[in-house]
Amino acid sequence: MNNSRAFLVLLGVLTLFSIIVMKLVNIQLIRGDELKYFAERQQMKIEKIQAERGLIYDRNNVLLVYNRNDATFYLDLSKTNRQTKEELAKIFSKLTHKTQQFFLTKMKGENKTITLAQHVLLTDAKSLMKLKLPGYYYRKGISRDYYYNNFASHILGYVNTQYKGVNGVENYFDNELAGINGQRLVVRDATGKIITVKEDRTKNVITGNNIYLTINKSYQKILEEELNNGLKKYQGKYAIGIIMDPNNGEILALANSSGYDPNNYWKYNDAERKNRAVTDTYEPGSTFKSITIATLLDQNLVNENDIVFTENGRYKFSNTYVTDTHKRGWLTVTEVIKYSSNIGIAKLVQKIDNEIYYKYLRGFGFGNYTSVSLPGEVKGRLKKPDQWSKISKEFMSFGYEIAVTPIQLISAYSALVNGGKLFKPQIIKKITDASGNIVINSNPNLVRTVISKKTSERIRNILATVIDGGTGIKAKIKFINAGGKTGTSQRLINGTYSKSKYNSSFVGFFPVDNPQIICLVLVNSPKVGKYGGQVAAPIFKNISERIIKNNFNKFLEKKEFFIPINNTKTVYVKKVLQTKGNLKYLDLDFTGDISKARMNVMPNLINRTLSEAISILTKLGLNFKVRGAGKIVKQSITPGTKLRAGLMCNIKAKEISLKGVTIY
């Protein structure tokens, strides 16, 4: 019996030994290479090194978007314990301002890895990175920072969790900005800790290129603030604004109210992140009349003084009535635009052949992409002449039966006022590599010449009358002559024109004789006021006056402008501004009380500002000539002299440098 038991034990030992030998043979000889590969793969791993995206600046080298180094913290629940969970819950509760219970609930389970906190700045993460706890680890990374939050968000766009550009220039120029990722081969121990990095297997990153936008940060800030102020005042649904340099197509500012914060893009819906300036179309209404008149002028079919009868505000076109807001009779071509007569423009457009009219509209860029370097652009709607009804041309003449984008319309208006040249709108000034070497240097891109230089000059003068006593009088700005056109169109909702919802718009420019700035304002569905002249024109005025106030020196070249003396009187000043020497700004603030001046005696003007002197001389009824700028240092009529009609006073002002400019 004992021998049998010993035999069984020996047999079991031999069997176990045989199994072990077979396993060793399988591991060492048969599967040795395969298992060695898997072991090395667990210890050695190729890791991606994220390339930093290029930076984004405005046209004046103001940094708008940059990168920051951060860390994301994880916990492997399969390798941790209860004590660690409680400790980490306490630590990250303080960091994130979430409750400890939030983290403890998140830590339930055993076979998963959870994220404790993402994109923590390295300056805030130093103590967290020093923690040595089971299952707890971190990874360094890079995140995008939009320094001014909502500022220029529809231009900039944002990057998603995969560090890919979405919307704006982040998306359109993603390949330029992204750079090229690197990689490294790391060796880890059984706990996952890095032992060494194989330098010979490391591929360095290439940082993305930097982008310099055409936008001016100051203009952008003004545009955004005034759009939001106007939207609040007129209670619209949303507002769109674009400021451009009409002479080269550069976009100086572009905004959709009220923007969104790219740092927290997930908190906003698609409609809030949409750049309506390029993605949405609308029927432009009366702003389109300028395009029609320019076409007729360029074809020599009308001139400014031709007259047309506007039927006292109501006229029947092929069984459809066209109406005007104000009842008027005979109007000149200029007055048709000045007072925005639908009937007048509908009658005048009949002078032009359908095909020629269509050719001009296509020439101005309607029904086609502007090719602006922003994603999502649509081309609008422009029907071909063979698709027109009997009244299509008449209705198109004042902005119906045609759909445009804001970027199309302001580009077309730029051609109207800049001498007839249609430019591709530009949002990029230049692109450089990380070392500052220029990769792309953007130049004005002339698409075509649409109208003659002479026609452009004529249309500028016509549009000046719109602000000077016409429908755009509320767009009148101080010191510099401006021109523009109001627009009001009923919104097409579910195939029917609304009786209560309108698109109120204004496109304006200044100075009239040499336009440097052009600005489009569009307010959707205002509840207070509905006409472009009541809603959009005042917003244009506020934008323009702030731009002029902040950049007065730029507009001194004009030399001719109007100085307001009080609420009822304005003085025309010609060639009194000098930009020689150290004069940088002109102080136009009037602080003197001219009501106390004796009307028959010459007052002392010495040390008064130029505007004060002009105010006093005007009130006294004296003729005057001015030399220089700044404060008065000499006057030809001695103080105390008894005045008489026809006297001429020569005054000399000393050129000085002032710290600021006051317009109001």
Do 25 and 182 touch, CB atoms closer than 8 A?
Answer: no
Average pLDDT estimate for 629-655: 82
Q: What is the pLDDT of residues 268-323, one digit of tens each?
A: 999 999 999 999 999 999 999 999 999 999 999 999 999 999 999 999 988 889 99
Would you call 244 helix, strand, or coil by DSSP?
A: strand
Lowest mean pLDDT among 313-317, 458-462, 571-575: 571-575
Do 636 and 651 touch, CB atoms closer than 8 A?
Answer: yes
- What CATH architecture is 47-213? Alpha-Beta Complex (3.90)
> Which tokens in the block code for residue 256?
């959709």
| CA–centroid distance for 517 within its chain | 15
The angle at the Cα of 332, spanning 329 to 333, to the nearest 5 degrees, equals 125
Q: What is the pLDDT of residues 49-80, one digit of tens each?
A: 788 899 999 999 999 999 988 888 999 888 88
Would you call 605 helix, strand, or coil by DSSP?
A: coil
Whether domain 217-553 has CATH 3.40.1110.10: no
Please give the Cα distance from 253 to 9 (Å, whole number).
Answer: 91
H-state helical runs in 484-555: 536-550
pTM metric for this prediction: 0.76
Domain ranges of the chain: 47-213, 217-553, 559-654
Question: How many residues are present in the chain?
Answer: 664
The angle at the Cα of 473, spanning 471 to 474, to the nearest 5 degrees, equals 110
Do 333 and 305 touch, CB atoms closer than 8 A?
Answer: yes
Do 150 and 272 touch, CB atoms closer than 8 A?
Answer: no
Whole-number CA gyration radius for the chain = 36
Neighbours of 662 (CB within 10 A): 15
Helix (H) or strand (E) holding 293: helix 289-298
Helix (H) or strand (E) holding 39: helix 32-43
| For residue 4, pLDDT beyond 80 | no
Do 315 and 343 touch, CB atoms closer than 8 A?
Answer: yes
> Which tokens in the block code for residue 538?
């005042």
CATH code linked to domain 559-654: 3.30.10.20
> Which tokens in the block code for residue 321?
């009535």
Helix axes 289-298, 354-363, angle to 10 degrees: 110
Task: Give percent above pLDDT 70 in the chain.
Answer: 83
pLDDT at 16 (0 to 100): 76
Lowest mean pLDDT among 125-139, 225-239, 468-482: 125-139
Q: What is the pLDDT of residues 141-158, one digit of tens each?
A: 888 999 999 999 999 999
> Which tokens in the block code for residue 218?
């100051």
Q: What is the pLDDT of residues 109-122, one digit of tens each?
A: 777 888 898 888 88
Q: What is the pLDDT of residues 393-447, one digit of tens each?
A: 999 999 999 999 999 999 999 999 999 999 999 999 999 998 899 999 999 999 9
- Any idea of the CA torsion for 519, 520, 526, 531, to the nearest 10 degrees? 90
pLDDT at 570 (0 to 100): 38
Query: In terms of Cα–Cα distance, which of 425, 57, 377 is closest to 210?
Result: 57
Q: What is the pLDDT of residues 7-19, one digit of tens each?
A: 677 777 777 777 7
Q: What are phi and psi of 280, to 5 degrees?
A: -110, 145
pLDDT at 585 (0 to 100): 31
Block residue for tokens 């029609």 = 292
Which residues lie closer than 8 Å to 36 by C-beta, 6 or more apart? none
> Which tokens in the block code for residue 506?
């204004």
Q: What is the pLDDT of residues 575-614, one digit of tens each?
A: 333 333 332 333 333 333 434 445 678 888 888 877 678 7
Which DSSP symbol is given to 609? B
Do 143 and 119 touch, CB atoms closer than 8 A?
Answer: yes
Through-space distance between the first and last CA atoms of the chain, rounded to whole angstroms = 121
What does the mean pLDDT of the chain come to? 84
10 Å CB burial of residue 258 (0-12, 13-18, 19+) is middle
Q: Residue 605's beta-bridge partner residues?
A: none
Lowest mean pLDDT among 88-97, 280-289, 298-307, 622-631: 622-631
Do 422 and 446 touch, CB atoms closer than 8 A?
Answer: yes
Query: In terms of Cα–Cα distance, which of 356, 407, 400 is closest to 382?
Result: 400
pLDDT at 119 (0 to 100): 83
